[in-house]
Amino acid sequence: MQDSTGSARPVKRGERLMWITTQRVFYAGLLGAAGERTLGGHGVYVTPAGAPPNRIRIGGGAWQSGELLVVPAQVPHQVQSESPLILNLLIEADSVDAGALPSFMHHCGPVDDAPAFVQRVRDGHARLLAASGRECFNSFDFDTLFFGAALKPRTFDARIREVVDRINADPAGAASAESCAAAVHLSFSRFLHLFKQETGVPFRAFRAWKRARSLLRYVREPSTLTDIALDAGYPDSTHFSHSIRQVYGLRPSDILAGSRRLALHDAGRVVL
């Protein structure tokens, strides 16, 4: 996103939006000076047309660059963007069969052989911009818009699926491992083992990610950080700030400040 002199131009009003569904997020907006982040979903970063390639560092390694960056769930990484706008997709790891994802999603870092997908993401952004403020995004199918077809869902042991669905439905809820184990009639130790075996992450890490993800629904709320922390299920603002920085590489205050001009589309509710 550059002007005729080659310098980056500011983001136009209306270009920034976020679309949140139960298991997907599309974000077109500011990246900011983010530190290392560890997300609980499969992440994709795409540069807007004409913008310099984004840069990525996986787990403190060497910097790499590309128009398309792919990061599997739970992989620590840091992303930098010279453009004021970045396009980012997040696919919840518990919602898709990782082995059945498109081949380019099996990489970690820059991907050079998926230009059609890069263009599909840019075109999808343009379609959402055209619809923003005029129609509910529920008229779009996320996977079809960005991937061309539905992604294969992930299967779980029925007992673990019950717990995963419970946390997804209420990430701010006080669902302890003990209460979840009792609800599905498993011993505490057996539940913890089976949960990690099925999901790939410990119960505590899974719940922490879902709670941090729920922050995205509050970025346009006029509430104080303390109120948002409590609404999202955190015991206090200190714990809230620490957890959010670990996940997103940014302070909660920075995330909210960068979202002031963001159009938020959340399950049919539009906040302009």
pLDDT tens, position by position, 18-55: 999 989 999 999 998 899 999 999 999 999 999 999 99
The pLDDT, as a whole number, for residue 7 is 36
Mean pLDDT (the chain) is 90
DSSP-based three-state secondary structure for 6: coil
| Inter-CA distances, 20 with 58, 126, 193, 203, 214, Å | 26, 17, 31, 23, 10
The pLDDT, as a whole number, for residue 12 is 56
pLDDT, tens digit (0-9, with 9 covering 90-100), for 196-246 = 999 999 999 999 999 999 999 999 888 899 999 999 999 888 999 999 999
pLDDT over 70 for what percent of the chain?
A: 91
The pLDDT, as a whole number, for residue 269 is 54
The pLDDT, as a whole number, for residue 2 is 30
Q: What is the dihedral of CA 14, 33, 208, 211, to 10 degrees?
A: -20
The pLDDT, as a whole number, for residue 139 is 78
The pLDDT, as a whole number, for residue 221 is 84
Rounded mean pLDDT of 148-166?
97
pLDDT higher than 50, residue 84? yes
Residue 266 pLDDT level (bands cut at 50, 70, 90) = confident
Rounded mean pLDDT of 179-191?
98
The pLDDT, as a whole number, for residue 190 is 98
The pLDDT, as a whole number, for residue 1 is 30
Rounded mean pLDDT of 120-135?
88
